[in-house]
Structure 1
Amino acid sequence: MQIIDLSEMPQAIETLARWHYSEWQHLYPGETQGDFEKDLRASMAVNVIPSTFVAVDKGNVIGSISLLERDMDISESWTPWLANLFVHQDYRQQGVGKQLIEYLTRFCSVNSINHLYLFTPDSRSYYQTLGWALLRHQVYKGEQVDIMVRELSAAGK
């Protein structure tokens, strides 16, 4: 498995948008799969934020992770955000998600980003094992979520 920038595999956009839309459309009721594609295309710009990375195995996309300026419409001081962590069901429980997170944290450290935020409705313990700390619980778009932060070292650990 390798992890590459989405700009190196733009043909993955349609697949990723379909996966992301299926997984998270309930949080974005006014958006279409096309809107998800548009957001992914925007993450292929030369800017650090937004960025999307793709896990690829034998030429097939198997997962993704994004770095976004915002993933929730709350505190503007909380930025940037880990978002779009998704692993295809056939590759789950094999460490792909952890590798994507590690890749993104190294990318952030190299780009002088000292902390990351995320929200999750059901994976708090998973993220805590990877060094994330709980900031608070809150209802977001009708769903109880945990908002978490991870402080990053210069080495990306």
Structure 2
Amino acid sequence: MEILSLADRPDLMQPAIHYFWTCWGSSSNFKFYEDCILHAVQDKSRLPMFYVLWHEGNIVGSYALLTNDIISRQDLMPWLACLYVNEEHRGQGMASQLLQHGLSEAKRLGHPALYLSTDLENFYERKGWLYLADGYNVMGEAIKIYTCPVG
């Protein structure tokens, strides 16, 4: 199992775009994911960055580091977003590995902390993330913001 940056693996670009969109998108926003990811991988030293979890020749998980996760708290960054592990691979510590990789990457880029927004209950708390505040999505709905120092 490997965590791969799409900036380093252009051969995985199209399958990765489809994976992110399938996990997080809707029938009307494929172009959003495609355009975002295609333009993100042009500079390995700055955000945004997209990663996939590669296992036995398949993408089985993902995450991204973004400047903003489409949330009201524009003052915070970077954001860990799009964390996903295929259902059949859950319970094996893969999400924890992706989270740790994200923290390492944020540290490498010189950021003191990483942020995420979620509606999950008790998942990130168990991984050591701390509730920071509520933010608001584009629909005006409150969403919890968590933070974790990078090390």
Q: TM-score, normalising length from structure 1?
A: 0.82
Shift in alpha-carbon separation, 1:95–1:143, aligned structure 2, 3 A: farther
Please list the CA deviations of residues 82-111 of structure 1 after superposition, one character each: whole Å capped at 9, or x if unmatched: 011111222122111110110111111122
The answer as to whether partners of 1:17 and 1:34 remain within 8 angstroms in 2 is no
Structure 2 unaligned segments of length 5 or more: list them. none
Moved over 2 A (4+): 7-26, 136-145
- 1:136 equivalent in alignment to 2:133: yes
The number of residue pairs the alignment matches comes to 149
Letter in 1 for 2:134: H
What do the CA deviations read for 1:4-45 (whole angstroms, capped 9, x no partner)? 11123334333333343344336xx9x521221111112212
Aligned to 1:115: 113
Q: Which amino acid aligns with 1:98?
A: S
Q: What value does the CA root-mean-square deviation take over the aligned residues?
A: 2.2
Aligned letter for 1:116?
L
In the alignment, structure 1 residue 2 sits paired with structure 2 residue 2 = yes
The residue type paired with residue 51 of structure 1 is: M
Contact 1:121 1:143 in 2 (8 A): no
Match of 1:51 in 2: 49
- Distance in 2 (CA, whole Å) between partners of 1:45 and 1:134 is 33
Q: Structure 1 residues 139, 75: closer, same or farther in 2, change over 3 A?
A: closer
Q: TM-score, normalised to structure 2's length?
A: 0.84
Query: What residue number does 2:58 align with?
Result: 60
Match of 1:7, SS?
coil
- 1:99 and 1:114 mapped to 2: Cα distance? 19
Residue 35 of structure 1 corresponds to 32
TM superposition shift of 1:147: 1.0
Query: 2:4·2:52 contact (CA, 8 Å) conserved in 1?
Result: yes
